[in-house]
Chains A and B, each alone.
Chain A
Amino acid sequence: MKNQVEGREANVEEREVWRLLSRPFPCGLSGTPDGKRDQEKDLVVDTSEPPLQKETPAHSTGTRENMITPGTAELAVAVAKGLIKFGEHLDRLLAEKVAVQSPLALKLPAVNFSPGPAILKPRLRACLDQTSDAKPGPLGRQRRKALAELMAAASPDLAEMRRFYALAFPDEALNETNTIQPDANFLQFLRDAVPGLRETLPENAGSKDKAKVANYRAAVLSAAFYVDPGADARQLGYPVRVSLLVVDVLAELGAEHTQLFVKDEGIRVIATAVLERFAKPDLESFDDWSPVLRHTLSATLNGVLDARLAWQGKSPWFGAILQALADARESAGDIGDDYLLGLTEGKGYYLLLSNVLAKSADILDDQHAPLFQQIAADVLRGAAPLVASDPKGFGSFFNEHWADLLHAGLVSIDKHGPALLEGQSPLLREILLASIRSLSQTAGSELLSRETVFHLADAAIGAFASHPKLWATGNNQPWLDEFLQSVLHTVSNQGIAATFSKDGLETIVRQAAGRFAEHPEWLVKDPGMFQRVVGEILKRFSEVGALEAKTIAASAVDGALDAIAAHPEFIGTEFPRAIADFAGQLAAQVKGKTLTALQASDLIDAASQAALLHPELFASPKKRLAGVITDAVLAAGKNNSSPILSSATLVPIAQELFVVFAQRGFDAATDSAIGQLQDKLVPVLRAGIIRAESEMGRRLDVSALPGVLGGLVAAWLKGEAPALEPNDPAFQKFFAELAERALAAA
């Protein structure tokens, strides 16, 4: 029997199981013949089976092949241990089920319905009337006196009245019907019905055993009062919890014998650590999904941390991050696991441990990885109290973004060199800690996306790294505060938030933050520049409430930042406001459907380019020259039904005029002249447009129109244009020459 399974010969492992079942485990079961544990031979089960894989004859005994190998024996013992644990825990779990979900015999107490005050009062008063001190009746003199005193009250005490009533009228008071059993009817029915059921008792049919019959009757009566346990408010029912118990036992088994299932040594170490952590609490004790999932996540990360030595030397960066997390966990004491779990809730964590790792190995060598690790650990430790004090606010933000901050730190090291890591107080650590402090103190951080936080941290680190003197002043916290708050005030501005969709605003802010990260020198000059450029432009849209605000605003921000990148001298000037004003003006045109959002974007681009050509004219919010020119072009085209003047034509015309004015418009746009410029420019443009209609198809096409009108305006600005009369031959000749030149140039 032992050597045969379903008519075939049992193999080695089956025989060994039967052997284990059939006799006690020998002491040296898991050791070598000399009694010492031999790890290498344990592994033979998984990796080098030859002796075990052979189908050894079942009857051959006393050979090496027929002995229980240490690996198999250890597994069998582990299985047995697991089964014992499973049995114990299952027993406890099912015992809980019995306790919680068994019916409970509930019966209501018998209620005393003795006569009430309305009956007792007249009866007792009549009793007093019918008796006297001389003839006190059954009460006796003392009690009658006491009753008289009681009944003198307006509302005598009921319990006292009942006591006297029992004394005076014992037959009435002791009436059994005064106590009502709430289940009297039901009980009577049961007493009548149950004896008849005796015959239906399968085991006792015909039984004359009084004790058994009485027991049965008692059980039936009791069952009749059973109340079910009702609804179970827990998410995990007992079937699921039994499954968790199986998982728990298997995890423990797997943790102890990972070598049987995983061959790669590095992965095996991690798998063991994860499974050990996973199996630590009794999983079946969870009755909601949430703690199960939290535990799973926590066990995974903590297991990886526990096994971090397995990664040593493979990736200094990975090792550094894991060690930093482990340090943070340990420094957080009892709540370390929870803190760590919170950190893993941020999506950036996955990015950090996956995409970034490959790149980071090239950035940090063995020498610098420990330095980064120390900084990362310091940052995580430094943030822990801030997270604990505001778990839903800053805590939630930090959990989401800590990885972005470290990622930015890593990128900064790549950009600015490992000097950031060195020294008693490494610059990277100080900047990150200062940034965290600043972010924890200002509302709105929750509105920042992961990429935005990354860019902002990159920009801040870049500013300090590229301008060490800025840090050396020791006045860095206010600088950081101003920078970060300028961003947070922008994104948390109510009007802005209401104007843009969440995604739209996030895109603009993220792209702008990316530009700041590329130009940390902007922040050195003006830490509040983000708000002064991005914030001001976005605010104009919230004032106008334009549709398609995102398209125009993104273009305005881009254009402004392009111009600033080309002309850093714009920083600290009123150029951002000039662009913001122009953007606001165009937003109103878009809202009024005079322009489309794309046309407005093109105009903002053109105005920004014009600002590069002539900053004094186009970067001044006071002159608002781009706005004046645009208005003039739109006014010239107004009420003109000519097919050559579509909105598609007007925009190139305005763009051309920006260039013309950058080159020749200084006198026309002086502070004293700018007020009249639009009124003067409109007739010039109208005269040109009328002539253009006549010349169209002769020496002019639509594509050449902006250039020709630009030439006309340039001539006008130089004072070389003839009288602006479309029917005047001199003007006609002048315009024809402009058109011919344009045609020749094309």
Chain B
Amino acid sequence: MNAKLLSRFRFVVASLVLSTALLFTSCATQRQVKDIVSASNLAALSTELNLGAEDPGKPGGQGETWKQASAKIDAFIAQHPENKPTVAALRVRQAMLLLNNKQYNLAHAAFDEAKLEDLRGSSRDRALKRLDADLLWWYPTAGGTLPREEFSSASKSLERISAVWKELKSPEDEGVRDWLAALRAWIGLKMANDADADAVGTNVVRGFLEGAINTYSSMLPVNEAAQWQSMPDFPPAGMTMEIAVNGPNRRRFRADDLIAAARKVMANNRIATPEITEPYFREKILR
């Protein structure tokens, strides 16, 4: 290598050293977003999990956590409106945070700000955005009574959730796919619980429950429920959290909650002998 080239090479190396140094000093935006993600994740769950109360280090306490997290998102977007994927992802995050904190109008506004075409980086966010109307309907409805005139909306929501669920085929989609399957099942059980057999017929009411459970079981990976049946003790003693949060165990937790709810619905609305196709669910619901 001649002297000139060598000299240039050294110069480039020195520049790279300088660049590395500069890089470490310029990650403010990244840190800001990490903080937003962390705060919004905690605030999304704080109300029902009492996380705020368990977090004395956080100022504002339980009732204010979501406001601070949401305000951080608004402030960040006001500073960085140009990056559309970032804005869209944060708006979906904000919408879910607000839904969980019963701020339905604000959640609606946040969903409106997220454009589907800017959400290509995450199938989860795309799915949530595509189902925004259903989520905005279900969250305020779940804790109350399902009005008679909203049963058709509920049925259409079930169809839309199934449609979105079917498009989530990648292995990376497992988390959101499971969540949507559970969402759909809970809506179905609510319909079964609140439907008036005198108005719609006994078969229809029973059909709501059968549809909720049978569709959910069909959305499980093949043979997974059969494996559950062969291992009746759950969660087994000594199961760690790391194991509990993996796909099959998380689904089983959800399934067992659904089974308990299905049994309650049967009692609540006098639904007799529903036809449950999957043996694990059938045995546990009808026993």
Contacts and interface: CB of A to CB of B under 8 A. Distances in A.
A371 B12 CA distance: 49
A158 to B, nearest CB: 5
B264 A119 contact: no
Nearest to A111: B142
Interface stretch (B155-163, B219-227, B255-263, B277-285): B255-263
B253 A185 contact: yes
Contact of A91 (B15, B28, B56, B254): B28
B52 to A, nearest CB: 8
Interface in B54-98: 54-58, 80, 83, 85-86, 89-90, 92-93, 96
A183 B258 CA distance: 9
A70 B28 CA distance: 33
Interface in B114-158: 120-127, 138-139, 142-148
Interface string B243-257: 011000010011011
Contact of B143 (A10, A110, A189, A229): A110
Contacts of B11: 13-14, 17
A107 B100 contact: yes
Given A159-B145, A189-B235, A108 B57 contact: no
Contacts of B186: 108, 111, 182
Contacts of A217: 54
Q: Is the interface of A mostly helix, strand, loop or mixed?
A: helix
Interface stretch (A220-228, A426-434, A607-615): A220-228
Given A112-B144, A159-B147, A197-B241, A105 B80 contact: no
Contacts of B92: 104
B230 interface: no
Contacts, number: 322
A232 B51 contact: no
Contacts of B44: 104-107, 222
A215 interface: yes
A226 B41 contact: yes
A193 to B, nearest CB: 5
B194 A98 contact: no
B121 A84 contact: no
Nearest to B168: A230
B23 A96 contact: no
Interface stretch (A206-214, A406-414, A456-464): A206-214
Interface string B185-208: 010011001111111000001000
Given A53-B3, A111-B186, A197-B241, A234 B175 contact: no
A229 B125 contact: yes
B124 A110 contact: no
A92 interface: yes
A154 B175 contact: no
B10 A84 contact: no
Contacts of A187: 49
A58 interface: no
Contact of B100 (A109, A180, A221): A109
Given A183-B253, A227-B175, A211 B100 contact: no
A701 interface: no
A96 B241 contact: no
Given A95-B32, A95-B86, A98-B33, A87 B143 contact: no
Contacts of B22: 80, 83-84, 86-87
Contact of B10 (A11, A95, A180, A221): A11
A640 interface: no
Interface string A85-122: 01110111011101111111111111111111111010
Interface string A10-52: 1111100110010000000000000000000000000001000
B3 to A, nearest CB: 6
Given A182-B186, A182-B257, A98 B30 contact: yes
B1 interface: no
A194 interface: yes
A201 interface: no
A229 B172 CA distance: 8
B176 A228 contact: yes
Contacts of A99: 33, 36-37, 85-86, 89-90, 93
Contact of A158 (B29, B168, B194): B194
Say whether chain B's binding surface is mostly helix, strand, loop, or mixed: helix
How many A residues are at the interface, by size bracket? 35 or more
A549 B76 CA distance: 71
A119 to B, nearest CB: 6
Nearest to A230: B123
A11 B138 CA distance: 70
B10 A14 contact: yes
Contact of A86 (B19, B25, B54, B190): B19
A17 B13 CA distance: 10
B113 interface: no
Given A17-B14, A92-B80, A104-B124, A111 B8 contact: no
A350 interface: no
A102 B55 contact: no
A91 B122 contact: no
Interface in A161-220: 162, 177, 179-187, 189-190, 193-194, 197, 210-212, 214-215, 217-220
Interface centre among A49, A217, A218, by most B CB within 10 Å?
A: A218
B25 A182 contact: no
Contacts of B257: 180-186
A21 B19 CA distance: 11
Contact of B182 (A104, A115, A182, A231): A182
A362 interface: no
Interface in A53-93: 53, 55, 76, 79-80, 83-84, 86-88, 90-92
Contacts of B235: 189
B179 interface: yes
A351 interface: no
Contacts of A214: 54-57
A53 B143 CA distance: 79
Contact of A116 (B26, B54, B80, B193): B193
Contact of B144 (A159, A182, A183): A159
B273 interface: no
A215 B271 CA distance: 44
B122 A100 contact: yes
B34 A98 contact: yes
A107 B45 contact: yes
Contacts of A84: 22, 26
Contact of B55 (A53, A100, A215, A233): A215
A108 B26 contact: no
Contacts of B90: 99
A155 interface: yes
A95 B89 CA distance: 11
Contacts of B183: 108
B231 interface: no
B275 interface: no
A88 B121 CA distance: 21
B220 to A, nearest CB: 16
A80 to B, nearest CB: 7
Given A92-B83, A226-B41, 19 more contacts: A11-B10, A13-B7, A79-B18, A80-B18, A87-B19, A92-B80, A104-B124, A108-B179, A111-B186, A116-B194, A117-B194, A118-B197, A158-B145, A186-B254, A214-B55, A222-B45, A230-B123, A230-B125, A231-B170
6 contacts: A104-B41, A109-B99, A114-B268, A117-B196, A182-B182, A233-B121
Interface of B: 3-4, 6-8, 10-11, 14-15, 18-19, 22-23, 25-30, 32-34, 36-38, 40-42, 44-45, 48-49, 51, 54-58, 80, 83, 85-86, 89-90, 92-93, 96, 99-100, 120-127, 138-139, 142-148, 168, 170, 172-176, 179, 182-183, 186, 189-190, 193-199, 205, 235, 239-241, 244-245, 250, 253-254, 256-258, 260-261, 264-265, 268-271
